[in-house]
Structure 1
C-alpha cells in the first residue's frame, strides 16, 4: 500500500477522535527515517496541547490501528503538538494566522534567495503573499514553497 494511502486511512481513523475531544489535526505523516518507519500525528487545540492530550490520542488511535491493521511494516507512532513553529498546511491556517510573521523556504531560489520572512497577508488563488522586513510585498505560488512555518521571534 502506498504511503499516501496509509496517511488517508489513518486520517479517517483520526477524524472521529479529533471531533470527540475537540482537537485539530494539524498534520499527519508516514515516513521512513533510517531503518525505521514513523507514523507522526500533530494535534492542536485551543490553549495548546498537553502530554495527556497526546497520550489520549495515541491510545485511541492505537486501538483502531490494532483492530484494522492497515500498515504492513512495523512503525513507531508519535503524537505531538506542532510546536511554536507550526507549519501552515491547510487553507484555514493561512486565514487563522494572517498578520503573523512566517518563514518561507522555497524549492528553488527567487531573487537569488530560497528563504524569506515576513508578515502573512494571506492565501488567494494558490498564491501566498507576505510583506517582508523591508516592507516589500512578495507573492509565491504555493507549489514553489517547500514549507511555510510560523516564525519564532526572540
Structure 2
C-alpha cells in the first residue's frame, strides 16, 4: 500500500463529509495490514465531527478503497476515528474546536493550566484562575486537553 495513493483516494471523500485527514498510517500485521485513518473537522457546532459523520465517511472510504488499486492485493482492516481527546493540540483550529475545555500548556519548562476561551490567528486565549491571557502558539511546546469527569458549570 502506498500512502500517497491512499491519501489521494481518501481526502476527497472525507472533504465531501465535512472532514479533514489528520493522519493515515499503514501497519503490517502478518499477511494483513491495518489502515488507520484519523480525521478531524468542525462538525455542526464547530466542536469537531459527530460520530454519525465519521460512520458515514467510514462506509464511503471503505467502498472506495475496495474499488481502488491504491490498496493493492493485500487484505486490510480499516479503522477510521476522530483525533480523540488525548492527541496534542498543534494548530489554531484544534484550540478553536476545544473552546471551553480545560487544557494544560507547556511554555518552555513552565506548565500552565487554564480554560480555552478563544483562538485566532496564531494565538490562544486562556482563562487561568479568572484572568484571560493571549498566548502565542509558537511559544507553546505542548498542549493537551484535560479530561474533566465532574465539571461544575458556571
Question: 1:121 maps to which residue?
Answer: 118
> In 2 relative to 1, CA 84–13 (structure 1 residues): closer, same or farther, beyond 3 Å?
same
Give the number of the structure whose alpha-carbon radius of gyration is greater.
2
RMSD: 4.3
Are 1:46 and 2:41 matched, yes or no? no
For residues 140 and 103 of structure 2, what CA distance do their matches in structure 1 show?
Answer: 14
Measured after TM superposition, the shift of residue 89 of structure 1 is: 4.9
Gap regions ≥5 residues in structure 1? none
- Matching residue within 5, 11, 14 for 1:15: 11
For residues 80 and 97 of structure 1, what CA distance do their matches in structure 2 show?
Answer: 17
TM-score of the aligned structures, taking structure 2 as reference length:
0.56
Contact 1:102 1:120 in 2 (8 A): no
Gap regions ≥5 residues in structure 2? none
TM-score of the aligned structures, taking structure 1 as reference length:
0.56
- Matching residue within 22, 25, 28 for 2:20: 25
Aligned length: 142
